[in-house]
Amino acid sequence: MHLTPSIRRRHALTLVAGLLGGAIAPPVMAQDFPSRTIKLVVPFAAGGPADVVAREFGQKLGAELAQSVVIENQGGGAGVTALGTVARADADGHTLLFAASGNIVLQPQLTNAGGAELVAKLSPVSLVSTSPHVLVVSSKLPVRSLEEFVAHARGHPGELSYGSAGVGGVAHLGMAYLEALTGTRMVHVPYRGTAGAVNDLASGRVHALFSSYPSLQGVIEKGLVRPLGMTARTESGPAAKLPVIASVVPQFEYTTWYGLYAPAGTPQAAVRRLNAAVRKVATDASLRDKLSVQGVEMAASSPSELQDLAKRDAQKWAEVIKRANIKLD
């Protein structure tokens, strides 16, 4: 029988495929991942709240994955440096981003530094934790409840000031959000970090502040500042006994959160393996207890749930940013 060249080529390809069989490299399988040390990039300097949570989380994640997890701090640049490192990394799940909500939701809206393009090159893996903020006022201010604070601010427009860890941060936007919902007007005083803002709050130089409970606990216990409420319900930690601001100001609610992200294109098998590991870590009792005293609640989600959370937050803060005309550059 005479075989045409095209038929001979098909026969040859069939023969090669049959001989190779299982030798053709399969896609990444969950049981093959991870195959080496995982690098967890943190967009903040060492020693801060994000770094503390990342290190505790990373240690448990490494144990669950039976691989070392190395923390790499890349602070500064509004998180752009860290986002770029992960966005450009090999999409194999061995380089991950421990992102704060501000890195994913706020920075792209506030600056032209390239954050939006970098976020688009990341794939969500899972939510890691959530944490409400606490509203505190200087003890020198003659108010003892959230209702009194709102009434005082309304009665003294432009006379009260509030601090934050910097322009465009969640604490800044949170107060702008509260102003919008209560019809109040206060003066924003930005600081280079939370410590300076807390010190001036305690001395009475500024009147109010949103921040995490751990950063405020010392001055609260000394009676230098007065906690009035928290931005969302929490079941653990010392802030749990405080009233929720939404009970006085309807619609007001927000949390800060950390999420785990991988480079876009990471195989789904690796993403599923990572997601399953995060879910297991989130139930670790010792980790939950250790972080709850800092006002941090461990959480986990599907990749799509994290994506939806980021979209909802982006829409909420976009309205606040536009109304308050907040810009970083």
Q: How far apart are the first and last CA of the chain?
A: 76
Confidence category of residue 214, pLDDT binned at 50, 70, 90: confident
Which of the pair, 30 or 140, is modelled with greater confidence? 140
* Mean pLDDT computed over 32-57: 92
Structure tokens at 2: 């005479």
49-65 helix and 285-292 helix, angle to the nearest 10 degrees:
180
pLDDT of res. 79: 87
pLDDT at 312 over 90: yes
pLDDT of res. 64: 97
Which of the pair, 310 or 214, is modelled with greater confidence? 310
* Mean pLDDT computed over 16-43: 66
pLDDT at 11 over 90: no
pLDDT at 34 over 80: yes
pLDDT of res. 164: 93
Of 26-35, 89-98, 209-218, 320-329, the poorest mean pLDDT is in 26-35
pLDDT at 209 over 50: yes
* Mean pLDDT computed over 110-117: 82
Look over the chain and give the mean of its residue pLDDT values, rounded to a whole number: 89
Of 29-33, 184-188, 280-284, the poorest mean pLDDT is in 29-33
Confidence category of residue 3, pLDDT binned at 50, 70, 90: very low
Whether 182 and 250 have beta carbons less than 8 Å apart is answered as no
Of 126-135, 201-210, 231-240, 290-299, the poorest mean pLDDT is in 231-240
Task: Report the helix count and the strand count for the chain, using DSSP H and E.
Answer: 13, 11
Select the highest-mean-pLDDT range: 1-15, 22-36, 263-277: 263-277
- Output b/e per residue, 178-217; b: 16+ Cβ within 10 A: bbebbebebebbbbeebebbbebbbeeebbbbbbbbbbbb
Rounded-to-integer distance, Cα 306 and Cα 101, Å? 10
pLDDT at 91 over 70: yes
Rounded-to-integer distance, Cα 143 and Cα 196, Å? 23
Rounded-to-integer distance, Cα 253 and Cα 88, Å? 34
* Mean pLDDT computed over 208-213: 92
Question: For 235-246, what is each residue's pLDDT tens digit?
Answer: 767 778 899 999
* Mean pLDDT computed over 158-187: 95
